Amino acid sequence: MRRKLAAGNWKMNGLSGALGEAVALAAAHPAPGIDILLCPPATLLDRMADSVHGSKVAVGGQDCHPLVSGAHTGDISAEMLADAGASYVILGHSERRADHGETDALIRAKTEAALAAGLAAVVCVGETEAQRDAGETLAVVGAQLAGSLPDAGVSAETLVVAYEPVWAIGTGRVPTLEQIAEVHDSLRAALKDRFGATADGIRLLYGGSVKPGNAAEIFATSNVDGALVGGASLKASDFSAIIAALEAAPE
């Protein structure tokens, strides 16, 4: 049985005062029936890890460099994230792919680095609006999945896959439940083809304008094991409502 996961991606948001939201979230869910993850900006990572230490809230990074160390100004290695208290890292988010030109090959290298450092990788895939309109969604997402994952080190504990249609991120637009199920079912099939029985335990998250008002129906959809949440994860009250919906979702 896959344990569901509610992951919050704070993106480039949050100053010191926002750490109270993480503390409030941990206090609101002392014994959750699911896994909870917050990925703050790197400037807050170690302090957030300290603030929720001993709770059921895990902390993760938003990106890592594929190398352990070196002359890479402004970059952060997976080992540095782990040293700061992270247990997960988000990789291949569409904003990284678009804003920084990240390729599947680079994301694969970063994933390998994350696994080597003992981090679980949340690898993101998703199509643009133009690709959706052209009927290319499954081909695009399948190619991203194939190119972004390493062949070794993948397990239910080390890999999470997040489907985030680019056109739905932060726009308020959400695919139909049938569209979400089609992609998630396709991802599960592709993972099984590549990793066999291991794929049964790999969690598939949906991301893209997930809010308290639409969470329950999304979580009842085929092969949706949780969510990668953006803006709605910045406030403990909003994220708590999504967590509650996921806890109540059918197995």
Q: How many Å apart are CA 131 and CA 211, to the nearest integer?
A: 25
- Token digits of residue 15: 């100053």
CB 186 within 8 Å of CB 146: no
Buried b (16+ CB within 10 A) or exposed e, 147-174: ebbbeeebebebbbbbbbbbbbbeeeeb
Q: How many Å apart are CA 191 and CA 208, to the nearest integer?
A: 22
Residue of 21, 29, 65, 93 with catalytic role: 93
Is 29 considered catalytic here?
no
Q: How many Å apart are CA 98 and CA 20, to the nearest integer?
A: 31
CB atoms within 10 A of CB 44: 22
Reading phi first (left if > 0) and then psi (alpha if -120 to 50, else beta), residue 153 is in left
CA 203 to chain CA centroid, nearest Å: 10
Closest CA to 186 of 231, 113, 232, 126: 126
Closest CA to 5 of 48, 60, 49, 43: 60
- Token digits of residue 26: 């941990």
- Token digits of residue 226: 């949780």
Residue of 79, 95, 127, 164 with catalytic role: 164
Is 164 considered catalytic here?
yes
- Tell me which residues are annotated as active site: 93, 164
